Structure 1
Amino acid sequence: MKNLFALRLHRHQLMTAPFALLRVLLPYGLFLLPLLTQAQSVALKPSEAGLRVEIDGRLFTEYVVKDTPRPFLYPIIGAAGESVVRNFPMKKGVPGEEKFQDHPHHRSLWFAHGKVNGIDFWGEFTVFGRQEHTGFGEVKAAGNQGSFLTRTKWVAPTGQAVLTDERRIVIIALAGGERTLDFNITLKATECDLVLGDTKEGTMALRLCPSLSLNSSKGFVDTGSSTGHAFNSAGDRDKDIWGKHANWVCYYGPDLKGNAVGVVIFSHPENFRSPTTWHARDYGLFAVNPFGLHDFEPDKPAGAGDYTIKRGGSLTLRYRFYFAKGQPTPAELDARFQAYARGK
């Protein structure tokens, strides 16, 4: 009888032990579950075109340096898993982009300027300057963060070097598919004095996918159809953001699959002429430009925005791209800007 009772007790313990263990671990499991579902890893891999950036094994973007007038990042996969940039001219014939094949020099995400010692490094018309990738520096990735250094030489149409730059690009994978990309660039007057000229054609830029533009059916004819919207830190909205001073600008709307997303650029407060001016258009060009003052402010004379870097000197500019899920609020973006200003 005693042995039978022990056997029943043993069977009862075997059956109830998992539940007892679950009761012990459940609070910890509930705590760890968000961490497990939010955990993301960043990987940087050499590619034929340049350097591939992956988040959890999936492409986020690629730094393209091969067969191009200037380096650029493409695609840019947003928080909902779809690209938030225009595919043209990298890919042609993409459905929904038929009316958005203007400005072939607008390549996804890039840095360029339309007047450097009088040379056009922005457009790609008859005569223009080129940016030649000269090498990668440190490339590292750990956990949800990766970063890489690049070196670039800016070359005049004559083949003469005009300046060099060093770029540090930092990618951080956030919870829920959101991510940030910091683009830090130091322009170096290694060859001669530099004048970064007063023109609206520049500078730190991104070309949004058609569905995020303020007029998604525009092409070159304004149909009045709009799916994307924009606002800035100063309270301006939609077309009124162009040429205005602001710490940040946000575009929001549907990606190509209809998911609600936001795309934000923060200009670091230590950048010169902060808060900066914005060359942000209704057809999808989204650019920070601290130089084009006479275009943005009609009362300013031509050349008012010129900036000179003496030979041997440099200028560092810092920007953060934030790819959000849904529509961020102004209060949230102000808080993120303050965190960015504090180095976070």
Structure 2
Amino acid sequence: MKFTPLLSAILLGTFSFTAAAATFTVEKTATGGAVVKIDGEFFTEYVVDQANKPYLWPIIGPGGQTMTRAYPMKTVEGEQHDHPHHRGLCFGHENIGGYDTWAERATFGDKPNAKSEERVKHLGAIKHRELKDIQAGETAAFTTVADYVDASGKKTLEEVRRHTFKVVNDTRLIDVDIDLIATEGDTLVDDKKDSGLSIRVPTNMAVEKEKKERGTGKIINSEGQTDADAWAKRATWCDYHGIVDGKHVGVAMLNHPKSFRHPTPWHVRTYGLFTANPFGLQSLDPKSESGALTLKKGEKLTLRHRFIFHLGDEKAAKIAEAYADYAKEP
């Protein structure tokens, strides 16, 4: 009996079915941001006009769950409503050039005290200026240019940020590479706890919810430190996972060896804040020397991180192996 080449390959076990590669699209929004889709389905939006800094929100994980808290962009019953400046996936710093892009006016409520009133005076902004170098297809990418400005709108620093989006097996990846450039003159980058690249995870995925109610989450880093013990510790990666909409999912953040002050300390909280902070050395550990530095005019500081949105815990997602691969990338 004669068999077709396809049937022969199947019978001999030499044929395998390969899932089609994901197809990304990037669509500019009317406000200057961008929507990223995978196979026509929403993945995330780069929002540029709703706060004093841009951010990605919401982010949809590989299981279909929303991997970012909705507040303050949307009020959802049962969510934590603290820290309105924790917007999706964002970058902020309490003091670059004397001004704060971590907090925003809503951070301090209607009746700020003397301490918070002083911080309000020093609120700055990361003003989106340009979106360029858009790529789409099996991966997606775009570059943004932004100005850091003081309370009066005067430019203090320039930022160039590259976002790259990928699907690898059953994970979704977002690379965020940031250059902070002292274009306007010598610029202080201060030692502050409230600084760095962040994501605010869904409330139910937190280790602890409001009023110390236990959530479903777990924090673990590359050194094996977990939950509250992972706070302020240096590690090459950190993972936050738990139950969202009935499924065990998580997000890992990887710190590339070429990133500023690798391995970074992690400002990761049991209530759901997840931040890589290489700036606040003494703020996170009083025994450490100050992390404050001055960028001379024309100098730049580079941050490189990868977010992996995955199913299961860090072992099921093979985060240690994924980090080893990421660390080899030039």
- Is TM-score (shorter-chain normalized) higher than 0.5? yes
CA RMSD of aligned residues (A): 2.1
- Residue 273 of structure 1 deviates from its aligned partner by 1.9
TM alignment of 1:89-108, pairs within 5 A: 89-92=72-75, 94-97=76-79, 100-108=80-88
Q: 1:159 to 1:329 in 2, by over 3 A?
A: same
Aligned to 2:305: 319
Kindly provide the amino acid, as one letter, of the partner of residue 123 in structure 1. Answer: A
Percentage identity across paired residues of the two chains: 37
Aligned to 2:326: 340
- Residue 58 of structure 1 deviates from its aligned partner by 0.6
What does the per-residue CA deviation read over 1:259-280, in whole Å, with 9 as the maximum and x for residues that have no partner? 1112000011112322110110
Give me the whole-angstrom Cα distance separating, in 2, the residues matched to 1:82 and 1:30: 36
- Structure number with higher helix proportion: 1
Q: 1:166 to 1:20 in 2, by over 3 A?
A: closer
- Residue 21 of structure 1 deviates from its aligned partner by 6.7
Q: 1:312 to 1:222 in 2, by over 3 A?
A: same
TM alignment of 1:284-303, pairs within 5 A: 284-300=272-288
Larger radius of gyration: 1
Aligned to 2:95: 115
Give me the whole-angstrom Cα distance separating, in 1, the residues matched to 2:203 and 2:125: 27
- Residue 333 of structure 1 deviates from its aligned partner by 2.0
Give me the whole-angstrom Cα distance separating, in 2, the residues matched to 1:76 and 1:297: 32
Given the alignment of the two structures, is residue 222 of structure 1 paired with residue 212 of structure 2, yes or no?
A: yes
Q: 1:181 to 1:23 in 2, by over 3 A?
A: same
Give me the whole-angstrom Cα distance separating, in 2, the residues matched to 1:31 and 1:42: 27
Given the alignment of the two structures, is residue 52 of structure 1 paired with residue 35 of structure 2, yes or no?
A: yes
> Is 1:41–1:173's contact at 8 Å kept on the other side of the alignment?
no
**TM-score of the superposition, structure 2-length normalised?**
0.90
> Is 1:40–1:174's contact at 8 Å kept on the other side of the alignment?
no
The alignment partner of 1:246 has SS state of coil
Q: 1:330 to 1:313 in 2, by over 3 A?
A: farther
* Structure 1 stretches of 4+ moved >3 Å: 19-22, 27-32
- Residue 23 of structure 1 deviates from its aligned partner by 2.4
Kindly provide the amino acid, as one letter, of the partner of residue 95 in structure 1. Answer: E
- Residue 322 of structure 1 deviates from its aligned partner by 0.4
Give me the whole-angstrom Cα distance separating, in 2, the residues matched to 1:228 and 1:211: 7
Given the alignment of the two structures, is residue 279 of structure 1 paired with residue 272 of structure 2, yes or no?
A: no
Give me the whole-angstrom Cα distance separating, in 1, the residues matched to 2:167 and 2:90: 20
Given the alignment of the two structures, is residue 135 of structure 1 paired with residue 125 of structure 2, yes or no?
A: no
Q: Which moved more, 1:150-159 or 1:62-71?
A: 62-71
What does the per-residue CA deviation read over 1:180-204, in whole Å, with 9 as the maximum and x for residues that have no partner? 1000010010002111111100110
What does the per-residue CA deviation read over 1:226-260, in whole Å, with 9 as the maximum and x for residues that have no partner? 310010011100111110010110011111x1111
Counterpart among 182, 193, 199 of residue 192 in structure 2:
199
Give me the whole-angstrom Cα distance separating, in 2, the residues matched to 1:272 and 1:84: 26
Task: Could you tell me which runs of 5 or more consecutive residues in structure 2 were left unpaired when the two chains were aligned.
Answer: 106-119
Q: 1:278 to 1:22 in 2, by over 3 A?
A: closer
Give me the whole-angstrom Cα distance separating, in 2, the residues matched to 1:133 and 1:66: 8
Task: Could you tell me which runs of 5 or more consecutive residues in structure 1 were left unpaired when the two chains were aligned.
Answer: 1-15
- Residue 158 of structure 1 deviates from its aligned partner by 1.8
Q: 1:39 to 1:331 in 2, by over 3 A?
A: closer
Given the alignment of the two structures, is residue 24 of structure 1 paired with residue 8 of structure 2, yes or no?
A: yes
The alignment partner of 1:75 has SS state of strand
